Structure 1
């Protein structure tokens, strides 16, 4: 029987399915007995603390009860640690869910969204889904954020300026002066959203989080964060947003699903925020390995962009899809970048030391 035809929304014709990366099972047959180094999804490879697994076990013992739809205990803890107002904290099924919620809450057909490029694809896809147009702010010829272009775009009455800081996949970031300039340039009729998924890896005097400016900023600002990266809860899907605008949070609450964070994820996230020793050790190990990997790749003659994330953006000097495919035979998963102008780049996550060694040894043979 021929499957029946059905026409979806016209905007979807401009989208491609999000590339979620390869799983361990996807590459097991080709790895030829190699241990598999999964370095394609920017996960935290270190184990979580016992406090988190205990909290998860206690929460899962009550599967018949709906979770708190506002995650009030967790929101209060987020507010306590960040300085945000608890009533302006919103939880989501990962921060990428909140990107979807944001698009549905604020974007109309024909609206303009400004974002950095190369980008996290969902920054563009959800805007396109809503019929908005996307303006890309690319990198300069020496592979830096084009601040002049970003400030000029943000100063216009665009509907939404949505940027990752640090950037995914490039790893680049706004310094304190650059963030201050962006906040000052922001048009008062525009919403500025800072996606800070990798903020825990970005500490240092040359980086500033938008959370530090939230309370004193006089224009609409939204900050998104996740428990998927440094906190190691990618499998549970939970993230959060913070705003200085009651209107932004109210709009997002209207369009999100009522129970968009499950009870186990809420319990794990609360335990993660209140037992941070293991997370801090994992971040420190990642930063040390990131520096080692950057030096080793540079020694191979490869250009590596500076990074404040738990990943590196590497110019292979040849199509990265082919490099990534050959790495699979060595038991290594990375993410070749396919956006226009960056087809020779791959993004590699910083894993455990043995995973990073396996990647570096394979790259030395391939390139």
Structure 2
């Protein structure tokens, strides 16, 4: 072959060879992404609203001196139990015994003067004015005697209620001053059984009870008819039970709350006025709830959703209405899902609507047997 022919052949075949070297290669098609799916789970449960509150004694009395004098004796143990009518303190009664004796003597004299004046008036020996003056003197003496008797009784300071007493504020031998509000404070007594628990409930929470959503099968019963469950700071569970017995008649404009009261038995006196506690009040009747793991719930600017696999094995975001969290990990679904939906449990961070997936069955998450829902 001549050199000229070889050059012609080279220039004819070179583009074909170079074209083969730079031919664009198509990326291999990726297979459908495998994901774990499970249907929603169902469980009968009761939803709860939780509140922080404080215990208060149903009755609390400040024991004050009603008459003045020297404190003669104390008849209780600091911090002990006292009964209604029990004598707690004795104020020196001798000045009041003397006053009573004097008042009784004056009363007897005034009574005799009045009786004598009545007889004289019947004989027209004295005027009606004289009789009226004797009557007024008799009534005044009677009032003085009654006051003296009452003051003598006040030297015996008694407990008006049954309960637990505080320490004495005044020692024997000290002078106490009598009075209503200004009288010397001697001690305090609080009732123990029953004991009250006060909650400041938000307007929103109260509306859940007063105007419940009756389109739901689990709508709440009116506030005031519920049991109340309380735990103290060192309790693991809500072991103290009572009932709601009072809702205030207005909302506090400063705090935006309504005062709610529960009452509990406290025969052992373990619940102390002033203690804090956490309270649970049923928010719904028992019903069958739909639940999914809270970790599969996604959010965007406008809605909450979960990813499901549709009939074409494609990812589909499903808008849902959420209820409260159950047992810390399961989320109650109010609406948006069907019991047959395949909820995607894995790969949530890389899923996109419309992509093809290969669903693989996962064990449906089993909700705990407890019936504790938090807001």
TM-score after normalising by structure 2 = 0.20
**Higher share of residues assigned helix:** 1
Q: Which structure has the larger Rg over C-alpha atoms? A: 2
**Higher share of residues assigned strand:** 2
